[in-house]
């Protein structure tokens, strides 16, 4: 449940960004570029968050729980600065000059090394600062089995997120509601995740 909640709370922005990408699909920019790019960018975010898990193997759980203050702080920051949410300018595609060989005979390989794929991956990773801030304490409070469950949920949710974003491009009225009100819910979810980490780690024992 924590994995699902964390993903949704930290990827509301990505829904809007993915919608912008899907709206630009044409003869050269294809849905597979967006999906693969999203997976690549998010995988990089997960890798950057793993030090929290390995640190949790050696640091006492009660002290690890103090990392729960990070999502609480991020949630408060979002609540106090609602305009900090997604803006279209943040999704502008970076200029990436890439020379690629002709691998059109191998579609998957062509997609993996496509400049369009790297553009999506770069935007996903650049937009993942808050994700790392949430995932580090979440991973630090996990063991091997729960980490596997969380990562599996995350990877499944990426595919679902892409499908939802594609569907929303066909329903602009619903997309407008999500864009307008999604960020008002996120701060409270993040604060709830932080409190969950503090309680799950029994960090309150440090007060004795």
How high is the pLDDT of residue 122?
A: 85
Q: How many CB atoms lie within 10 A of CB 129?
A: 12
> Which residues, 6+ apart, have CB-to-CB distance to 179 below 8 Å?
16, 86
Quote the pLDDT of residue 40.
92
Q: Name every residue whose Cβ is closer than 8 Å to that of residue 204 and which is 6 or more positions away in sequence.
A: 198
Average pLDDT score over residue span 133-142: 84
Token pair 């997960």 is found at 46
pLDDT of residue 194: 76
Find the domain containing 96 and state its range: 2-207
Please count the other Cβ atoms lying within 10 Å of the Cβ belonging to residue 205.
10
More confident call, 28 vs 52: 52
- CA atoms of 168 and 146, how far apart (whole Å): 32
pLDDT average, residue stretch 131-139: 84
- Considering only residues 103 and 74, tell me which one the structure prediction assigns the higher pLDDT: 74
Return the pLDDT at 46. Answer: 93
CA angle 59, 207, 140 (to 5 degrees): 25
Residue-averaged pLDDT of the chain: 75
* Domain count along the chain: 1
Full-model pTM = 0.68
Mean pLDDT in residue range 62-81: 74
- Mean pLDDT computed over 76-84: 68
């Amino acid at each position: 449940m924590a994995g699902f909640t964390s993903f949704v709370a930290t990827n509301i922005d990505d829904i809007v960004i993915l919608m912008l990408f899907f709206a630009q699909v044409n003869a050269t920019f294809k849905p597979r570029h967006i999906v693969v790019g999203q997976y690549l960018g998010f995988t990089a975010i997960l890798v950057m968050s793993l030090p929290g898990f390995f640190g949790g193997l050696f640091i006492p759980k009660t002290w690890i729980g103090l990392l729960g203050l990070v999502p609480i702080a991020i949630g408060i920051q979002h609540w106090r600065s609602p305009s900090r949410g997604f803006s279209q300018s943040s999704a502008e595609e970076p200029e990436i000059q890439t020379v690629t060989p002709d691998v059109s005979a191998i579609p998957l390989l062509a997609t993996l090394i496509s400049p369009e794929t790297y553009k999506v991956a770069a935007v996903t990773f650049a937009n993942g600062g808050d994700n790392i801030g949430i995932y580090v304490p979440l991973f630090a409070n996990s063991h091997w089995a729960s980490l596997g469950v969380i990562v599996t949920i995350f990877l499944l949710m990426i595919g679902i997120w892409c499908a939802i974003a594609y569907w929303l491009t066909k329903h602009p009225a619903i997309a407008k509601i999500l864009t307008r009100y999604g960020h008002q819910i996120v701060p409270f979810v993040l604060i709830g995740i932080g409190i969950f980490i503090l309680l799950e780690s029994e960090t309150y024992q440090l007060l004795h």
